[in-house]
Amino acid sequence: MKLRAVREGVILIALAFLPAIGEGIYFRDKVSWQSRIPASELVTVDQARSWGDSAMWVDARPDEEFSRDHVPGAFSLNEDHWNELLAQFLPNLSRDKRVVVYCSAESCNAARDVAKRLRDEAQLKDVFVLQGGWEEWLKKSK
């Protein structure tokens, strides 16, 4: 009985590989396989700092974290108050500048999500996610 269940399970596990591989091949160019965010959309702290005034900093962390501390000159733009904060951000936006979005750390999602929304909703092209986020910024600032 148990052996039969195992045998059937192995067949199902093997069968599921076939369409999964096919789908993987179909999506091969649309997925970032090695990192959550494609390398082309990431920027290091050093690189972003070297852009100087041609970079606009966007803080995607919650309001209270932004109030505590943030990158000098950064705008707060998080998804909790998206419409309100976007309306405040857009008048300050210069289309020829690069936008650098950051959240708390390497593992947070907020910067990626905000960057995506800026590309999709505000039609911005040069939007980057800060590698390591605020945590990395603090480390480099010591």
Partner 1 sequence: MAEEEQMKFFWRIVDLIVGGIFIYAGTIKVLDPVRFGLDIDNYKTLPWFVSVRLAFYLPWLEIFCGLAVISRFLYRGGLSILTALIAVFIGVTIAAKLRGLDITCGCFGHASEHWSFPQHMAVDLSIFIALAALWFANELQRPAVQQ
Which residues of the chain form contacts with partner 1 (CB under 8 A)?
1, 4-13, 15-17, 19-20, 23-24, 27, 30-36, 107, 109
The nearer residue to partner 1, 90 or 105, going by C-beta atoms, is 105
Q: Which residue in 25, 114, 39, 40 sits closest to 78, CA to CA?
A: 114
Please say which residue, 35 or 67, places its beta carbon nearer to partner 1: 35
Indicate if the alpha-carbon torsion angle 113, 118, 124, 127 is positive or negative.
negative
Least distance to partner 1, CB of residue 77, Å:
19
- Rounded least distance, CB 93 to partner 1, Å: 27
Per the listing, tokens 């309306």 go with 87
What are residue 134's DSSP bridge partners?
none
DSSP secondary-structure letter at 50? H
- Minimum CB separation of residue 99 from partner 1 in Å reads 21
Identify which of residues 49 and 116 has a Cβ nearer to partner 1 in the complex: 116
- Return the sign of the alpha-carbon dihedral for residues 124, 121, 37, 57: positive
Interatomic CA distance for residues 46 and 70, integer angstroms: 17
Query: Whose Cβ is closer to partner 1: residue 20's or residue 87's?
Result: 20
The least CB distance from residue 123 to partner 1, in Å, is 21
